[in-house]
Amino acid sequence: MNNIEKVKKLIIDKPLKLDCGQTISNFPLAYETYGKLNDKKDNAILAFHALSGDQFASGINPITNKEGWWNYLIGPGKAIDTQKYFVICANVIGGCMGSYGPSNINPKTKKNFGTDFPVITINDMVNAQYHLLEFFKINKLFSVLGGSMGGMQVLQFVSNFPNKTQTAIPIACTASHSAQNIALNELGRQSIMADHNWSNGFYEENEKSPDKGLAVARMAAHITYLSKKGLEEKFGRKLQERDDLKFSFDADFQIESYLRYQGSAFVDRFDANSYLYITRAMDYFDLTKQFNGNLSKAFEKSDTKFFIVSFTSDWLYPTSENREIVIALNSIGKNVGFAEITSDKGHDSFLLDIPDFLNTIKNFLNTSYNKLNEKRI
């Protein structure tokens, strides 16, 4: 994990008052960029990552040596063409890829923060990332986009900074985290906390981490990112490297083996406490409530052009919840487009190579960019 010391970091010296009441300052925000900021500084896109993502959206992640989580979407010649656009992506605060989070050292105790780290919110994440605009001297972004928790950050960003982006693309998300999603997140947290190694969050001093708890949390969550049909098509009842059932609790089925792999691969790259903090931030997200039950008010002052995307088989952030954002925007006459993309891949669809999805983003961004340049001429 020493490589994490080498990732790009912006040290934010300005104090940031968190929703929980605490104020943080002089904290690191790890980020990565793709492409070049042009002279007019009108081609910058801020991409927000989801729960298990990080700043390495495109290319090869130097820490895990795997493809970036949005490598299908972002890169040279891709839907978000980094030969044309300048893409910035930051690790959220609370995360574990170099940004200020529970594995940082608490100056008071000289030990890792653990659960002494303040509870953070989507609002806090977005406020921290806003400093990137100042750092790059970007007056107005061309776009902000993200899926799942990234989409929540998009909504919060436009609400907090109504005239700081030309366009916004919330994908497969919600304006208000549902009871079902809170329940699923709680399942993951309880799984981590039930692991003896968790030690109330101060596991790093014991040099034992709650790997089993985190792996089970990831396994449970992973199921929610897929769909019944997708699972049926990919795995069905196929057996794992065996001809018959073993009458044991081994991974007889391919789906079991797959989930176990997903769980164990996750613990190599993710911190259990970060998982607690980030899922908590998602649960606390309720933009509608921030505006006293009227979501439209969140966007009233904004001149941002929206495009919202959902997926047919996403039961975690279903079309109906995405559509509520569309309705909130339409009801105050804001400029918004919306498409529900056909896919059997569930919530995960936004991370996958789905041509209709990739083309939708590409066409929306390119047309919007051309229109802005026409206006200037």
Partner 1 sequence: MKKEFNVIANLVEKNAKVLDVGCGDGELMKYINENITNDIRGLEILKSNVQKCIEKGLTVIEGDAEKDLKQFPKSSFDYVILSQTLQAFLDPENVINELLRVGKKAIVTIPNFGYWKVRLHLLFRGTMPITKDLPNEWYNTPNLHMCTIKDFVNYCNKKNIKINSSNLNYKNLFSQLGIFVIER
Kindly tell me which residue out of 52, 71, 127, 360 binds partner 1, with binding defined by CB under 8 A. Answer: 360
| Per-residue binding letters, 104-143, with partner 1 (x by CB under 8 A) | ----------------------------------------
In the complex, the smallest distance separating the C-beta of residue 333 from partner 1, rounded to whole angstroms, is 5
Residue with Cβ nearer partner 1 (108 or 375) = 375
Using CB under 8 A, count the residues that bind partner 1: 23
Contact window for partner 1 (CB under 8 A) among 97-105, 107-115, 125-133, 319-327:
319-327
b or e along 109-147 (b: 16 or more beta carbons within 10 Å of the residue's beta carbon)?
eeebbbbebbbbbbbbbbbbbbbbbeebebeebbbbbbb
Question: 133 CB contacts (<8 Å, ≥6 apart)?
Answer: 46, 139, 141, 164
C-beta of 79 vs 120, nearer to partner 1: 79
Q: Is 23 in the site for partner 1 (CB under 8 A)?
A: no
**In sequence order, what are the residues at sequence separation of 6 or more whose Cβ sits closer than 8 angstroms to the Cβ of residue 160?**
123, 126, 127, 130
Binding mask 325-354 for partner 1 (x = CB under 8 A): -xx--xxxx-xxxxxx-x------------
Residue with tokens 């986009």: 145
333: left (phi over 0), alpha (psi -120 to 50) or beta: left
d(CA 90, CA 141): 15
Q: Quick one: 67 or 324, whose CB is closer to partner 1?
A: 324
Q: For residues 92 and 361, which CB has a smaller minimum distance to partner 1 in the complex?
A: 361
User: Running DSSP on this structure, what letter comes out for residue 118?
Assistant: P
Residue 226 Cα distances to 86, 150, 235, 352, angstroms:
31, 18, 12, 12
Is 1 a binder of partner 1 (CB under 8 A)? Answer: no
Could you confirm whether 42 is annotated as catalytic? no
Q: Which residues of 355-368 are buried (b: 16+ CB within 10 A; e: fewer)?
A: eebbebbeebbeeb
Please report whether residue 12 would count as binding partner 1 according to CB under 8 A.
no
Please give the C-alpha separations between residue 141 and each of 133, 169, 217, 222, 347, in angstroms, as whole numbers. Answer: 8, 13, 36, 33, 27
Contact flags string 272-311 toward partner 1, x per CB under 8 A: ----------------------------------------
Pairing type for strands 44-48 and 86-90 reads parallel
Q: Which member of 22, 23, 363, 373 binds partner 1 (CB under 8 A)?
A: 363
Give the tokens for residue 329: 């925007």
What is residue 93's DSSP assignment?
Answer: T
Burial (0-12, 13-18, 19+ Cβ within 10 Å), 257: middle
- Kindly state whether residue 371 participates in binding partner 1, applying the rule CB under 8 A: yes
Of the candidates 195, 314, 344, 348, the residue annotated as catalytic is 314
Q: What is the Cα–Cα distance from 330 to 120, expressed in whole angstroms?
A: 31
Question: Catalytic one among 58, 103, 148, 274?
Answer: 148
347 carries an active-site annotation: yes
Local structure of 94: helix, strand or coil:
coil
Of the two residues 19 and 324, which places its CB atom closer to partner 1 in the complex?
Answer: 324
Q: Which is nearer to partner 1, 163 or 370 (CB)?
A: 370
C-alpha distance from residue 139 to each of 43, 166, 299 (Å): 11, 11, 19
Say whether residue 366 binds partner 1 (CB under 8 A): yes
For residue 288, the minimal CB distance to partner 1 (Å) is: 15
For partner 1, which is the closer residue by CB, 25 or 363? 363
Tell me if residue 49 is catalytic: no
Catalytic residue among 49, 131, 177, 347: 347
Q: Which residues are catalytic?
A: 148, 314, 347
Interface with partner 1 (CB under 8 A) = 323, 326-327, 330-333, 335-340, 342, 356, 359-360, 363-364, 366-367, 370-371
